[in-house]
Amino acid sequence: MSTVHYAVIDGIAVLTIDNPPVNALGEEVWTAVDTAVARAVADPAATAIVLTGAGRTFVAGADITVFEQLTTVERAMERSAYTHAMLCRLEDSAKPLVAAIHGHALGGGLELALACHYRVATPDARLGQPEVSLGIIPGAGGTQRLPRLCGVDVALRLCTTGTPLDAAAALAAHLVDLVVDGDLLQGARQFAGERASAQARRPTRELPIPADSIPAGLEACRQARNAVAPGPANRAVLAAIESVENGVTLPFDAGSVRERELFAECVVSTESRALRHLFFAERDAARLPSLPDGVTPRTVARAAVVGAGTMGSGIAMVFANAGIPVLLKDVDDATLDRSLATIRGTYDSAVQKGRLTPEGAERTLALITPVTTYEQFGDVDLVVEAVFEDLALKTRTFAELAGVTAADCILATNTSVLDVDTLAKASGRPAQVVGHHYFSPAHLMSLHEIVRGRQTSPAVVAASLTLARRLGKVPVVVGNAFGFVANRMLAYYLREAHLLLEEGASVRQIDAAMTTFGFPVGPFAMQDIAGLDVGARIRQHLRSTGRRRSEGPQSEIPDRLFELGRYGQKTGAGWYRYEPGSRTPLSDPIIDDLAHEAAKRRRIVRRDITDEEIVSRVTTALANEGCNVLGDRIARRASDIDVVYCHGFGFPRHRGGPMFHAQTIGLPTVLSRVQEYEARFGDYWRPSPLLEKLVTEGRTSIDG
Ligand code: 3HC
């Protein structure tokens, strides 16, 4: 069956692209559109043509999976040349061609619509060129047609930010010609019929760029280029700017040739492969487990949070922001008042920044109900426990929750270190208990670890995944082990950063090496933002339980800083010092003194350390431990670990995450680095058995 359906209704040919779930354009679909338009042009029964999408969307873009086949620049150019030629054929249609857009017209989907003579859309449609988020530029004429249709500013914004326009903004930008409030197809057919009667056709590529807009357009391109740091992370953005600029300075055909070249150079790059990897990794991580017939995951209509501290308050906001009413419980009114004042402050600041209307803020705030008793807990579908990180307190809370909630209510713990199974047991209904590990600040951080306990039911995992996506989070299902995935990996990352400091590197050098690698902040600046007290209290807890740290030698410096009351930005000093009211990190000689003392105690002769060694040691520690996490089955896939570290701790997306990065370096190289470090530094650098196995088997990919 063809992926494009053909019908003639009231003299208008209606072509419907039908390639679920999002009508992505693979080779077959492009060809089917081409064929269907040619048929409509030749069909005496049709005076005009409407092109639309079946199901929930117009077209979400070119089929991203196909890019894996574009392994050389030549092949990518060839593919792009085919699409360009095909879209020009469409645009040459002798009959008016109208795109009827609902849902999304993204990437190649928008480019397809741009090659139509007109565009009509539903009010909730979204139109954009998100290619840069995949490390590429529009490769089907988008950078050439957009400036002609909407001007340079809009074209530049769409192609460099990837942010889509809603229908109203698209109408204002002349990207769509009509917003249809009622039946889209009926509106589109009527519009197309009127164009046919008027014998109107408006091929986008024939539109002139208004001469008086060119100087300002070129200046906008120059400014955009100056605002972007050169380097592989920004390869696609810079290419998009160049291509839009070509759209202004070159004739359409010449600009198109250059667009194809730039697209091809981007699509074969490691950065684009990394970003495409994350696109699918994020979706794989959120995939629902298969459930027995008749079991549907519970929908969360009402929630409750126990504990109105920083985390609990943040989690309550996450629910309210998603429109879900939430009870926020703590022991007394004073605590709740403090929490609500903080929440209100956050919304007020969003209003001041124009991110929220005053009415929106009030509406959202009204969804949070402060309570000091469990009275209303019988009506909620989910409780998130976010009390102080203390096993006895949490165990007691879970026992209480079992008595006050419905039997099928989901009981989630936000613990970051404690054993989920112990809490599950305390509740008496372990199948309903799951970890929901949010990251601080909960309302801003996208990562959400969903911790599967030994007896957590698949339906509860599925409900948690569905809920997380509704809350706008990026969920990853992880196993129940100390630190889960995120904090376990973080411990190795920080171990290496701290040891490098003792061995001779400075805090500033290590942070700079990691930001040059692509992290938004280095490991020390990150700790100053998060608060050094958090890690210190976890270490205290571990010492109190007599638990041995698995990640090897621990630098004593973080504990010394904690003892000195240097908790980071919030106390004006941590790894750096801060002037009052400023967040600019300033080097502090005390850290070098502490590093010298620590080195002396460990009998280390401090030395010059290169930036390459810093990056290599830190990333190798992550990759090796990532393999252990997989070997221990705490993560299901290497790509899940990539999602965790990119969303949790800012691993540069254009490198695809620690595991994808290890693959791009080559697994044998990673293993030989671990072996070298083991020989140099001691057996805390032990190769992961999984890494050794993968290398022995000659595997190049961890997930296979
Ligand atoms: N190619 C291949 N598969 C795609 C796809 C695409 N362009 N877009 C979405 N999918 C798949 C997803 O992988 C997912 O598959 P799964 O069910 O097996 O996991 C399924 O479609 C549904 O996608 P989402 O889970 O993301 O659904 P949502 O409803 O949450 O979001 C969306 C819909 C906003 C359209 C989102 O899917 C999206 O942003 N898609 C990508 C858009 C994009 O980047 N387009 C540009 C592609 S590159 C291009 O067009 C180049 C051109 O210039 C030549």
Q: What is the pLDDT of residues 221-277, one digit of tens each?
A: 999 999 999 999 999 999 999 999 999 999 999 999 999 999 999 999 999 999 999
Euclidean distance between CA atoms 431 and 377, whole angstroms:
19
Each domain of the chain, given as residue ranges in start order, spans 4-268, 303-483, 487-633+637-696
CATH class of segment(s) 4-268: alpha beta
- Which atom belonging to ligand 1 lies closest to the Cα atom of 287? 19
- Is the beta carbon of 139 within 6 A of some atom in ligand 1? yes
The best mutation among 64, 290, 653 to test binding of ligand 1, ranked by most ligand atoms within 8 Å of the C-beta, falls on: 64
Note the pLDDT of residue 547.
67
Q: Atom 52, ligand 1: which residue's CA is nearest?
A: 108
Task: Report pLDDT digits (tens) over 423-457.
Answer: 999 999 999 999 999 998 899 999 999 999 999 99
Report the side by side order of strands in the sheet with 126-128.
104-106, 126-128, 165-166
Residue 61 has pLDDT above 70, yes or no: yes
14 backbone dihedrals φ, ψ, rounded to 5°: -110, 115
Give tens-digit pLDDT for 598-638: 999 999 999 999 999 999 999 999 999 999 999 999 999 99
Query: From ligand 1's centre to the CA of 350, what distance in Å?
Result: 30
Query: Could you tell me whether strands 178-179 and 303-306 are parallel, antiparallel, or unpaired per DSSP bridges?
Result: unpaired
Query: Which pTM does this prediction carry?
Result: 0.95
pLDDT value at 80 more than 70: yes
Question: Could you please report the per-residue DSSP string of 547-567?
Answer: PPPTT----SHHHHHHHTT--
Q: Cα(first)–Cα(last) distance of the chain, in Å?
A: 33
375 is catalytic: no
Q: What is the pLDDT of residue 433?
A: 98
Question: Exactly one of 28, 68, 111, 282 is catalytic; which is it?
Answer: 111
Bridge partner list, 59: 105
Rounded percentage of the chain residues whose pLDDT exceeds 70: 99
Q: Is the C-beta atom of 327 inside 6 A of ligand 1?
A: no
Q: How many CA atoms lie within 13 A of 80 on its CB side?
A: 28
Residue 296 has pLDDT above 70, yes or no: yes
Is the minimum distance from the CB of 60 to ligand 1 under 6 angstroms? yes
Q: How far apart are CA 204 and CA 90, in angstroms?
A: 11
Residue 203 corresponds to which tokens in the numbers above? 């091929």
Q: What's the rounded Cα separation, in Å, for the pair 205 and 593?
A: 66
Of 218, 87, 97, 229, nearest in space to 155 by CA: 218
Task: Identify whether 131 is a catalytic site residue.
Answer: yes
Tell me what the pLDDT averaged over the chain comes to. 95
Instruction: Say if ligand 1 is within 6 A of residue 65 CB.
Output: yes
- Which residue matches tokens 């965790």? 644
Counts of helices then strands in the chain (DSSP H, E): 28, 17
The CA distance from 642 to 542, in Å, is 27
User: What is the atom index within ligand 1 of the atom nearest the CA of 279?
Assistant: 13
* CATH for 487-633+637-696 (3.40.50.300, 2.60.40.10, 1.10.1740.10, 1.10.1040.50): 1.10.1040.50
Atom 24 in ligand 1: residue holding the nearest Cα: 283
Distance 14 CA to ligand 1 centre (A): 24
49: three-class secondary structure by DSSP:
strand
How wide is the angle at C-alpha 43 spanned by C-alphas 42 and 49, nearest 5°?
95
Check residue 383 and give its pLDDT. Answer: 98
Q: Cα of 457 to ligand 1 centre, how many Å?
A: 29
Degrees, nearest 5: CA angle 697-490-495: 90
Fold of 303-483: Rossmann fold (3.40.50)
Tell me the pLDDT band of 548, cut-offs 50, 70 and 90. Answer: low
User: Is 418's pLDDT higher than 70?
Assistant: yes
Neighbours of 551 (CB within 10 A): 18
CA distance readout (Å), 78 to 26, 82, 212, 597? 15, 6, 35, 62
Is 103 close to ligand 1, i.e. is its CB under 6 Å away? Answer: no
Task: Answer whether 505's CB lies under 8 Å from 609's CB.
Answer: yes
The percentage of the chain sitting over the pLDDT mark of 90, rounded to a whole number, equals: 91
Distance 22 CA to ligand 1 centre (A): 7
How far, in Å, is the centroid of ligand 1 from the Cα of 83? Answer: 19
Task: Assess whether the C-beta atom of 107 lies below 6 angstroms from ligand 1.
Answer: yes
